[in-house]
Structure 1
Amino acid sequence: MNPKRKLALAAATACLFVFVLVAATAALMLASEAHGGGGRTPEERIVALVVVALGAGTVICWTLVKLHALYVSVPLRMAEDLLATVAHGGLRLPEEGSEELRVLARAANQLLAVRDALEHDVAERVREARASLEEERGRLAALMTDLSQSVVVCNLDGRVLLYNQRARQELSAGSDGNTLGLGRSIYTVFDRALIEHALERLQQASLDQSGADTRKLIGSAQFVTATRAGRLLRAHMSPVLGGDGQHGARVGGLSITGFVLVLDDVTSTNERHGRRDALIQSLIEGGRGPLGSIRAAGEMLSDFSDMDPRQRDRFLGVIRDEARALSAHFETAAAAFSNDLRERWLLEEILGTELVAVAARRIGEPRASDRRVLAVKTEEVDEDLWLRVDTFGLLQALSYLALRLQDEYEVREVRLSLTRSGQLAQLDLSWLGTFMNNETAMSWLQDPMSIGGESSPLSVVDVIERCNGEIWFQRVRVSHRAIFRTMVPAAEAPKDLPRAIVAAAEGDRPEFYDFDIFTWSAVSHELDDRPLAELSYTVFDTETTGLQPSQGDEIIQIGATRIVNRRLLRHECFDQLVDPLRPLSQQSIDVHGITRELLVGQPTIDTVLPEFQSFCADTVLVGHNAAFDMRFLQLKEKQTGVRFAQPVLDTLLLSAVLHPNQGSHRLEAIAERLGVSVFGRHTALGDAMVTGEVFLKMVPLLAEMGITTLRQAREASERTYHARLKY
C-alpha cells in the first residue's frame, strides 16, 4: 500500500474513533441526566465513559483490521499475482479471502486458462513458421563451429554480434579476462584505429562504385595485427549490408550496417618463413668462405700442374676439409628445416585418448566379409597427451596392421597404449604369442595399404613420415609380446578459454545497505536515460567465508553470466574459486559445500578481481541483495586497485517495487512468483543464473508500471522500504 493510502486510512480511523468517543460521551451524559445522575459521582461517570470509549475503540480497530485484511490486502496481493500471471502464462491465482473474492479469482483463472490456450495455439503456429529459419540457423551454427578460422561479426560501433568458438579461444588467450563476448567491444581485442581505417576503406570503395550491381560490390579489406598473447593474425574484413542502416555508405539502396572479420593465425607460418629466410642467409654466409677456399685451391692445382707434391697435398687437404665443413653445414640446415618442410601437409591437433578410443572402435568393428571380431584392449594411456598428426591416415594405418594380423596370423586380440617419451608420443600396437620375423614386418610397413577391398597408394611408412614420426617392429621375448611402435612429436595442449572453473554463508545472507549503491559513482549515472531493454548486464553472485565483510570474511567464489539483447548467455560465464587465505567455518561449508581442499591452489582475490572486472566491463551489474556482494568488492578496492564503478541493480529492491504487498523477497520466493525454476542454489554461478532469469521476467513488468529506463529503475528502488534499512 502506498504512503498516501496509509495516511488516509489512519486519518479515517482517527476520525471514526473520535466520533465514537464523542457519541459515547453524549450517550452517557443523556443517560445520566435521564436517571437523575443515577447516584454516580462525576469521577465514576468519567471512568465509565473511558471504559466505554476504550471498548468501542477496540471493537472499531479490530473491525478495521479485519476489513483491511479481507477487502484491501487480499485484493492488492491478488492484483500483483494477476499481473505476474498475465506476464508469465501457466500460473493461477490463489483462491483466498471472502467468498466474493474467491468467485472473482475463479473467474480470473478461467480467463487465464482461455488466454493460455490461445497463446499456446499462437506459439505453436509461430514455431511452425520458424521451423525453416531454425534449420538455417542450425546450419550456420554448424558451419561456424567447424570452421578452422576465427569468425567475428560486429556492428558499426564495434559491438560483437556473433562469433565462433575458435575466435573465443584465440582472441581471449593471454588476456586478463574473457575479452570476447556478445555485446562487447571488439576494440578490447584490436586497435580501434586499425578497424576504423579498414572500415573507411570499405565505405570509400562502396561510394566509388555506388552505381554498380550491389551483389558485385561486396569487397573486402585485409590487414595483419597481433593479439595480446602475441599471436599474429591476418584479418579479412567484409561489410554487412542492410536496408535500415543509420550509418555508413549507401550501396544500391543498402547501407553498411556492420562487418565480418575472418581471422587466420599466421604465427607459425610467419615463424617458419623467418626460419627459412634465416636458413637461406646462413647457407649463403656459411658457404661463401668454404666455396672460396675450394675454388682457390682448385685454381692453384689447375694452374700449376708441376706443383711440389707436398704443396699439392696441402691444397688437396684444404679442398677436403672445406668440402666436409660445407657438407656438414648443409646437413645441419637440412635437419633443422626438415620439420618445416613436412608441415606443409595438413595435420590436426587431437587429444591422444580420443585417437586411441576411435582406433579401438574402428579395429573392433565386425567386417561384412568376416564374422570374426578382433578384440581390442587399451592399456596405459596418457590422458593429457596431445598429438599433431594426420588423423585419418594414422587410423587407417593402425586398422591395416591390426586386420592384417588377424587375417594372416589369426591374432584374436591386440592392445593399444599411448605414453609420453620425452618430447615424443609413443603409440604401441601390440599382441601376444604370435611370431613374426623382421622382414615380414618391414614389408607390411612399406606395402601400399589395402583395407576392406579398398587400396591406398600410401604405405604405413608414408603416413607416419607425414606425421613427422617413425615406426618400427620389435619383439619383447621375456613377455612374448610383439609391437609395432610409432613415435610422433607430442603437441602442446591448445590454449583453452581463460581460466575458469566450469563446474553461502551461515543461513540466509543479511540485507546489507550500509553504503549507498544508488550514488556509487558518477560513472554509474552515465547510462541513466538508456532503456532497460537495450542495456547489457552482468548478473553476478559471490560465496563467502561468512556474513561479516567488515570483520574479515572473504570471498571464496565469484560466479557471473551476461545478458545481451534480452537474452541470458549461459555459455558466457565467469566461475572462479578464490583462496581466501583464512579458515572456513563449518557452518558456511554446510551451506555452499566449498571445502578448504577445493580452495588450495586457487588464485587469490588480487588475481581474480581484475579478471572479473574485465568480464563485466561496459555492462550494468545485477545481483540479488547486491549490496552484500558490493560491500565485499568495496572493501578490496585499496588492496587490489580494482573499483567497480558501473551502475548496480538489485532484484530484491525491484521485487519490492513490483510486489510491495508480498511478505517475502527472497530469491526463491521471487522465482516462484515469476515461474522461474530454481537450480544450483548456494553456488555463485547457479544463483547468478537464477537471478538473471528473474531479472529478465521483471523488465516487462517494470515497463507496465512506466519504469523503462535505468534512472527510473534506480529511483524506484531507492524509494522502497528495503533500501532504507541500515545494518
Structure 2
Amino acid sequence: MLTGLSLRLRIFLIFVGLTAGILLSIAAGAFITARQLENFGLVIGGATLSGFGVLGLLVWVWFLFDQNVARPIETLAGGLRTGSVPDPEEGIYLADLGPATRAAAEARTRETERLSEAVRLHADDLTREKSMLESILSDIGAAAVMVDQRGRVMFYNAAASRMMPGLGLNRDLARALRTGAVDAARARLRVVEAAGYGSADAPPAATGLVCFTQTGDRLSGLMRALSDERGHILILRAAKSPAAQASADGTETLRRSAASLVPLLSELDGPVPPAVAKAIRSEASRLAGALRALTPPEMAETQDQGRVGAAELIGSVTGVAETEYAGELTLAVDGGTLAALVSDLAARLVASGRPAPRLTLDDEGHEAGAQIRLSWQGEVLPVAELDQWLDQPSDPDRPDQTGADLLAEMGTSIWPESDDHGRAALVLPLPLAASDRDHAPGLTYDFGLTEQDGDHGLLSGLTCVVFDTETTGLGPTDRIVQIAGLRITNGRLTGERFETLVNPGRPIPAVSTDVHGITDAMVADAPDTGDALHRFHEFADGAVLVAHNAPFDMGFLHAARAESRVAFDNRVMDTVLLSAMVWGQAVSHSLDALTARLGIEIPPELRHTAMGDAEATAEAFLRLLPALAAKGIARFDDMSAAAAKHRRLLADANLCRPDDHAPETQDH
C-alpha cells in the first residue's frame, strides 16, 4: 500500500503514527492515574505538558531526519537512476551510503565510457559506411521516402523534405502526398508480388507512379516493395507538365534574347553615352535575373544539380591567368559541369588569339545571385562567335552535349560585354545556394518504427516535440517573440527542427531583450503570431508536447488561438514535474539546476534562446526517461497519475484550460 508513496512521505507517516501512539499512551496513563488519585487536574495538566514536550521533540527529530536522511536518500537515488554523480555535500550524515553511492555512480560512468569507446572502436568501419550511405542518399536530387505497411514514414532525405511539405518521421504519408495514386501503386505491387516477382530468388517488385503533393505539385517516379513485407520505398522527382515545358522553353528564348542586348551596343552607329551603355548593361543583367526567378518551380527542382563552394570551383578551372573570388560563396550548380564549361571557354579565348582571361566570382550587386566574369584586355567577343563555341561539346566526359546544353542544364545563360577601359568579358550569372542553416536535415530515419505495433503508450516510444518560447514578458498579456522545437521519436532526436522569430506586433521591452537578446529590429520582418504558430502546429501535430514549465509556454499557445486559428490540444509533458518525480520536491527544478544535475552543459550564448533551451530540455527529457521507468513510470498514464502528486509544485499542463495562463513558477 505504501510502495506508491515517496520515501519522505512514508517517513512522515511513520512519525505521525509514532507521535499518535505516544500521545495516546500518555493520555491513557494520565486517565488511569487520575482515576486513582484525588488531584485529577494536576495529573491532566502534567500529562498535557508532557504531551506537548513529546510532540515538539518528535517534530524536531522528524525534521532533522527528513532533511539529513530522507531527502538526501531521494537525491542519491535520483542520481543513480539518471547516471549522474551526486554532489559530495549530499548524504554527509548517511555514513558510508553517500560515498558508496558516489563511487557506484562514478564506476557506472567509467564503465559506460569504456563500453562506448569499445563500441566506437569496433564500429568505425560500420560508421564510415553508414556515413557514406547517408551522404549519398541525402545529396541525390530525387526525393526518397520509405514507409511501413501502415503508411507511416520511417525514412526521408532532404530532397523529399523540400518537395513534400508536412513530411515527418512516424507520420502518415497522407499528410504530404495525396494517396490515391500511392494506393493504386501499392495494389499493382501486390499483383506483381503475387505473380512471384517478390520471391526470395527475385528482386523486390517495383512500379511507376505519378502522384501529387497536398499542395498540388506533380511528382513522378518509382515505388518499390521492401523485402520481408516491411513496407515500400518511393523515389520521386518533380514532373514537368506540357504547360511547364512550354513555359520553360519560352523563358529560355527570352533569356537568350536578354543575353544579346549588351553586345548589340558595339554595333550601334554613333557614340553611345557611357551612362546609357551602363544602364543597358544593368537592365540586361536585371532581366536575366528576373527570367531566372520566372523559371517554373518544377523546372527548378529538376535543375537542383548540387552545390559547390567558390574555392572548390576555382581550383577546378584551368586556362585562366588569375582569379579573384569571395571564398564564402556557395553556388547552387554542379561544380564539375560549371568548371568544364568555364575551362573550355577560357581555352577557346586563348586559341582565338586573345590573352588568357582573368576569372572573377562575386555576388555584389547582381540580381541573379552570383556572377562569373572571364575578362581580358581587348575587343568584345561577337555573339555569333560565342554561339559557335556553345554549339560545340564543352565537357570531355559528356561529348554528346554542347555548351548550350550545359547552360540549359544549369538554368542560366552567358553574354559578352565590354567596359569603358577597353576590357571585354564573358558574363555568366549563377544562383547562390541557400545557407547550410536553411537546409533540411540531410537524412532523417528510424527503421525501428517497423517493430512497433501501434501506439503502445510507453514514454520511450512516443513521438514528442520538445519546444520553448521566448516572450515580451512573463504576464498573461505578453506575446511570443521566438519559438523553437525538436522532434523525438523512439527515444532519440530525429534531427527535425523548427525555429522562427515572431513579430509580436508591439515593442519588445528592454528588460526582456536583456534576457533573450531579441530586439525589435530582429523581428521586424518575422512572421506574425498567427502565421508562426500555424506553422508550428503543423510541425507538432499528433506529437506529445514537452516543455520545461509547460503551463507557461502552453498558456501563450492557447492565448493566441484566435490569431493562429489552431488549437494545441496535444498531450503535454513537463520536465519540471518529471524532475520532481525522480528527485522529489525538495531540490530545485529550474532548467539550470536540472541540467547541472544531469551533467548537461548549456553554452551561455544559447541560454534563454528558444532553440538553446529546447535542446537542453530535450536532452534532459531523454536522460530522465530511464530513471522514470525504473520508478515504474513507463507510460503516459503512469506519468499523469504521478503528476497529480506534485500539484503543489506545479499544475499539470494537461489539466489547464485553454484560457488559463499559468504564472512563472520555475526558472524558464
TM-score range normalised by the length of the shorter chain: 0.7 to 0.9
Query: 1:561 Cα deviation (Å)?
Result: 0.8
Q: Secondary structure at the match of 1:110?
A: helix
The structure with the larger Rg is 1
Question: In the alignment, which of 64, 83, 94 is matched to residue 88 of structure 2?
Answer: 94
Are the structure 2 counterparts of residues 495 and 188 from structure 1 closer, same or farther at C-alpha, using a change threshold of 3 Å?
A: farther
Q: Secondary structure at the match of 2:231?
A: strand
Matched, 1:187 2:174: yes
Question: In the alignment, which of 554, 557, 563 is matched to residue 488 of structure 2?
Answer: 563
Q: Is the Cα–Cα contact under 8 Å of residues 556 and 577 in structure 1 kept in the other structure? A: yes
Q: Equivalent residue for 2:427?
A: 486
Q: Equivalent residue for 2:16?
A: 10
Name the amino acid aligned to 2:79: D
Matched, 1:126 2:124: no
The whole-number CA distance in structure 2 between the counterparts of 1:544 and 1:386 is: 37
Matched, 1:155 2:80: no
Q: Equivalent residue for 2:224?
A: 238
Task: Give CA deviations for 1:503-524 in whole Å, capped at 9, x if unaligned.
Answer: xxxxxxxxxxxxxxxxxxxxxx
Query: 1:573 Cα deviation (Å)?
Result: 0.9
Q: Is the Cα–Cα contact under 8 Å of residues 310 and 328 in structure 2 kept in the other structure? A: no
Q: Equivalent residue for 1:169?
A: 162
Name the amino acid aligned to 1:127: R
Q: Equivalent residue for 1:308?
A: none
Q: Is the Cα–Cα contact under 8 Å of residues 559 and 684 in structure 1 kept in the other structure? A: yes
Question: In the alignment, which of 221, 224, 230 is matched to residue 207 of structure 2?
Answer: 221
Q: Secondary structure at the match of 1:678?
A: coil
Question: In the alignment, which of 194, 200, 217 is matched to residue 207 of structure 1?
Answer: 194
Query: 1:657 Cα deviation (Å)?
Result: 1.6
Q: Equivalent residue for 2:256?
A: none
Q: Equivalent residue for 2:567?
A: 643
Matched, 1:581 2:505: yes
Q: Secondary structure at the match of 2:96?
A: helix
Task: Give CA deviations for 1:614-651 in whole Å, capped at 9, x if unaligned.
Answer: 11112111111111111122222234321112211111
Q: Is the Cα–Cα contact under 8 Å of residues 428 and 485 in structure 1 kept in the other structure? A: yes
Q: Is the Cα–Cα contact under 8 Å of residues 536 and 563 in structure 1 kept in the other structure? A: yes
Matched, 1:610 2:534: yes
Task: Give CA deviations for 1:409-445 in whole Å, capped at 9, x if unaligned.
Answer: 588x6655667778898643235xx556979x96998
Q: Equivalent residue for 2:255?
A: none
Q: Is the Cα–Cα contact under 8 Å of residues 542 and 558 in structure 1 kept in the other structure? A: yes
Query: 1:348 Cα deviation (Å)?
Result: 6.1
Q: Is the Cα–Cα contact under 8 Å of residues 28 and 49 in structure 1 kept in the other structure? A: no
Name the amino acid aligned to 2:126: L
Q: Secondary structure at the match of 2:60?
A: helix
Are the structure 2 counterparts of residues 482 and 161 from structure 1 closer, same or farther at C-alpha, using a change threshold of 3 Å?
A: same
Q: Equivalent residue for 1:429?
A: 374
TM-score normalised by length of structure 2: 0.73
Are the structure 2 counterparts of residues 10 and 183 from structure 1 closer, same or farther at C-alpha, using a change threshold of 3 Å?
A: same
The whole-number CA distance in structure 2 between the counterparts of 1:496 and 1:232 is: 27
Are the structure 2 counterparts of residues 465 and 182 from structure 1 closer, same or farther at C-alpha, using a change threshold of 3 Å?
A: closer
Bigger mean CA offset, 702-711 vs 396-405: 396-405
The whole-number CA distance in structure 2 between the counterparts of 1:536 and 1:462 is: 47
- Aligned pairs for 1:463-502 (under 5 A) are 469-472=413-416, 474=418, 476=419, 478-479=420-421, 481-486=422-427
The whole-number CA distance in structure 2 between the counterparts of 1:421 and 1:666 is: 50
Name the amino acid aligned to 2:461: E
The whole-number CA distance in structure 1 between the counterparts of 2:534 and 2:112 is: 46
Question: In the alignment, which of 213, 233, 238 is matched to residue 265 of structure 1?
Answer: 238
Name the amino acid aligned to 2:574: D
Q: Secondary structure at the match of 1:260?
A: strand
Task: Give CA deviations for 1:163-196 in whole Å, capped at 9, x if unaligned.
Answer: 1111111112xxxxxx112222211111233322
Are the structure 2 counterparts of residues 574 and 401 from structure 1 closer, same or farther at C-alpha, using a change threshold of 3 Å?
A: same
Bigger mean CA offset, 589-598 vs 699-708: 699-708
Name the amino acid aligned to 1:6: F
Task: Give CA deviations for 1:272-294 in whole Å, capped at 9, x if unaligned.
Answer: 279999xxxxxxxxxxxxxxxxx
Unaligned runs of 5+ in 2: 1-6, 251-294, 441-453, 653-661, 664-668
- Aligned pairs for 1:244-283 (under 5 A) are 256-267=229-240, 271-272=244-245
- Aligned pairs for 1:191-590 (under 5 A) are 191-209=178-196, 213-242=199-228, 256-267=229-240, 271-272=244-245, 357-358=311-312, 360-362=314-316, 374-378=321-325, 390-397=337-344, 399-400=346-347, 415-416=360-361, 427-431=372-376, 469-472=413-416, 474=418, 476=419, 478-479=420-421, 481-486=422-427, 530-549=457-476, 552-569=477-494, 571-590=495-514
Name the amino acid aligned to 1:693: E
Are the structure 2 counterparts of residues 92 and 399 from structure 1 closer, same or farther at C-alpha, using a change threshold of 3 Å?
A: farther
Query: 1:151 Cα deviation (Å)?
Result: 0.6
Q: Is the Cα–Cα contact under 8 Å of residues 176 and 214 in structure 2 kept in the other structure? A: yes
Q: Equivalent residue for 2:79?
A: 81
Q: Equivalent residue for 2:263?
A: none
Q: Is the Cα–Cα contact under 8 Å of residues 416 and 429 in structure 1 kept in the other structure? A: no
The whole-number CA distance in structure 2 between the counterparts of 1:473 and 1:436 is: 9
Query: 1:358 Cα deviation (Å)?
Result: 4.7
Are the structure 2 counterparts of residues 493 and 58 from structure 1 closer, same or farther at C-alpha, using a change threshold of 3 Å?
A: closer
The whole-number CA distance in structure 2 between the counterparts of 1:141 and 1:233 is: 23
- Aligned pairs for 1:33-72 (under 5 A) are 58-72=56-70
Query: 1:608 Cα deviation (Å)?
Result: 1.6
Name the amino acid aligned to 1:698: L
Task: Give CA deviations for 1:119-177 in whole Å, capped at 9, x if unaligned.
Answer: 444333333443333233122112102312111111111111111111111112xxxxx
The whole-number CA distance in structure 2 between the counterparts of 1:269 and 1:652 is: 57
Question: In the alignment, which of 666, 691, 695 is matched to residue 590 of structure 2?
Answer: 666
The whole-number CA distance in structure 2 between the counterparts of 1:276 and 1:435 is: 34
Q: Equivalent residue for 1:331?
A: none
Task: Give CA deviations for 1:9-54 in whole Å, capped at 9, x if unaligned.
Answer: 2232344466679989999999xx9xxx9xxx99999989877776
Q: Count how many residue pairs are aligned between Structure 1 and Structure 2.
A: 580
Q: Equivalent residue for 1:336?
A: none
Name the amino acid aligned to 2:181: L
The whole-number CA distance in structure 2 between the counterparts of 1:606 and 1:629 is: 16
Q: Equivalent residue for 2:100?
A: 107
Query: 1:95 Cα deviation (Å)?
Result: 5.1
Q: Is the Cα–Cα contact under 8 Å of residues 209 and 217 in structure 1 kept in the other structure? A: no
The whole-number CA distance in structure 1 between the counterparts of 2:226 and 2:550 is: 40
Query: 1:532 Cα deviation (Å)?
Result: 1.7
The whole-number CA distance in structure 2 between the counterparts of 1:42 and 1:77 is: 50
The whole-number CA distance in structure 1 between the counterparts of 2:23 and 2:398 is: 105
The whole-number CA distance in structure 2 between the counterparts of 1:358 and 1:557 is: 37
Are the structure 2 counterparts of residues 561 and 275 from structure 1 closer, same or farther at C-alpha, using a change threshold of 3 Å?
A: closer
Query: 1:8 Cα deviation (Å)?
Result: 3.0
Matched, 1:699 2:625: yes
The whole-number CA distance in structure 1 between the counterparts of 2:609 and 2:423 is: 52
Are the structure 2 counterparts of residues 621 and 578 from structure 1 closer, same or farther at C-alpha, using a change threshold of 3 Å?
A: same
Q: Is the Cα–Cα contact under 8 Å of residues 391 and 402 in structure 2 kept in the other structure? A: yes
Q: Equivalent residue for 2:614?
A: 688
Q: Secondary structure at the match of 1:216?
A: coil
Are the structure 2 counterparts of residues 54 and 681 from structure 1 closer, same or farther at C-alpha, using a change threshold of 3 Å?
A: same
Task: Give CA deviations for 1:356-414 in whole Å, capped at 9, x if unaligned.
Answer: 65554456x9x9xxxxx9543349x9989977994133331355378889x98588x66
The whole-number CA distance in structure 1 between the counterparts of 2:116 and 2:598 is: 20
- Aligned pairs for 1:139-154 (under 5 A) are 139-154=132-147
Q: Equivalent residue for 2:445?
A: none
Q: Secondary structure at the match of 1:236?
A: strand
* Percent of paired sites with the same residue: 25
Q: Is the Cα–Cα contact under 8 Å of residues 667 and 691 in structure 1 kept in the other structure? A: yes
The whole-number CA distance in structure 2 between the counterparts of 1:415 and 1:635 is: 54
TM-score normalised by length of structure 1: 0.67
Query: 1:76 Cα deviation (Å)?
Result: 3.1
Q: Is the Cα–Cα contact under 8 Å of residues 562 and 572 in structure 1 kept in the other structure? A: yes
The whole-number CA distance in structure 1 between the counterparts of 2:95 and 2:490 is: 40
